[in-house]
Amino acid sequence: WGFNNSQILSNSIGGATVASGYITPGLTSNPANLAAMRFAYMQLNFSNSEFSSATSNMSNSGFNGIDFVQPIPVYRGSLVLSAGAHKSIDFMSTSSDNTYEYSEKGKLTSYHLGAAVEFAKRLYLGADIKLLRGNDEMVEHGQEATHYYKPEFSGSALTLGLMHVITKNLQYGISFDMPRKVSIEDYYTESNHINEDESSSESDIWYYDAKKPMTVHLGGAMITRVLNLFYELEYTDWTNLEFSSDTYGLQDILDINNEIKDEFGATLIHHIGGAMRLPIIPAHLFAGYQYLPTPFKDSYNNLRESYSLGFSVALKKNFTLQGSYDTYFWEFNGSPESYDKFSIGVSLHNIPGL
């Protein structure tokens, strides 16, 4: 199902960013947070991820994302723009049994452009447009045949959000990931190991679209000089996921959509996070927890959980070192599986001349 990613500070507080304001500059679940920024900001980060099952494991390293935030001078209130690119979903999985060896590796990258304004005093509105591109590779290697799938993804997404600062210490936010359609070109190859002649291998390309239903984010935050607490509720009704295609038969499309309604359900995800400013030294510590039920009714015990830790240390006046560790764990068919991710990055803020 993939593992969601964002910038380091958002990951560090368990993704509880719908009302995080200026604490998590850049891409969050609520673009209205941008309007709380008062200075130019740029950050980039790298990550190393590892997936482990009871029988095997795999790892992947590389560039994870870059973000740029720029306030625009206005007569009243605030106007802030943001742009960046992120590996928004990591596809990783590997396992084996007496029948098959299975592996999967891929990613979905998001290129985004966001803007937010202070619509009224302490009331912020924002929007973020994303261009989605990615691919995945899945291999099922058996004693008699190997099945190889290589889907390529393309699409776009729109998020709208609101954040309201009630008092100096309390604020809440709500945002909507609007329904989005992703187009897939799925390259498929099957090789038969028993018969080695050319007719034992076949390939095809499947073209289809998947329309993801709306996701609602709702939550609040308590902001103080030393300690910050965050909570976010995320709701998606996956029974409204819709499959369509110009090349599949009508009956096949109806059967797939009926299967989605039978096997998928709604998810209510909880994100909880905290941030603490350390005394004396210019550093912050972050922690987060995520309760992540999956939409599959009969897999993963319908639950994944995640813990995260992070830090930021100001090395110079405008230069900060950031890092985070995220771990996900669950059971699949009675066996434990996990996904671990280490990220390291830097940020520039209060950039002179901007």
Q: Going residue by residue through the chain (354 aa), what tens digit of pLDDT does each one get?
A: 567 777 889 999 999 999 999 999 888 999 999 999 988 999 999 999 999 888 888 888 888 889 999 999 888 889 999 999 988 888 888 888 777 788 888 899 999 999 999 999 999 999 999 999 999 998 888 877 888 889 999 999 999 999 999 999 999 999 999 999 999 999 988 887 655 555 567 888 999 999 999 999 999 999 999 999 999 999 999 999 999 998 888 999 999 999 999 989 999 999 999 999 998 889 999 999 999 988 887 655 567 899 999 999 999 888 999 999 999 998 877 788 899 999 999 999 875 444
- 333 vs 54: CA distance, rounded Å: 11
214, 178 in Cβ contact below 8 A?
A: yes
**Average pLDDT along the chain:** 89
Helix (H) or strand (E) holding 248: none
Other beta carbons within 10 angstroms of residue 332's beta carbon come to: 15
The amino acid occupying position 170 is L
Helix (H, G, I), strand (E, B) or coil at 14: coil
* pLDDT at site 95: 82
- pTM, rounded to two decimals: 0.91
181, 155 in Cβ contact below 8 A?
A: yes
Task: Of 324, 326, 316, 307, give the one whose Cα is nearest residue 349.
Answer: 316
- 35 vs 211: CA distance, rounded Å: 30
* Length of the chain in terms of residues written: 354
* pLDDT at site 302: 62
- 94 vs 103: CA distance, rounded Å: 4
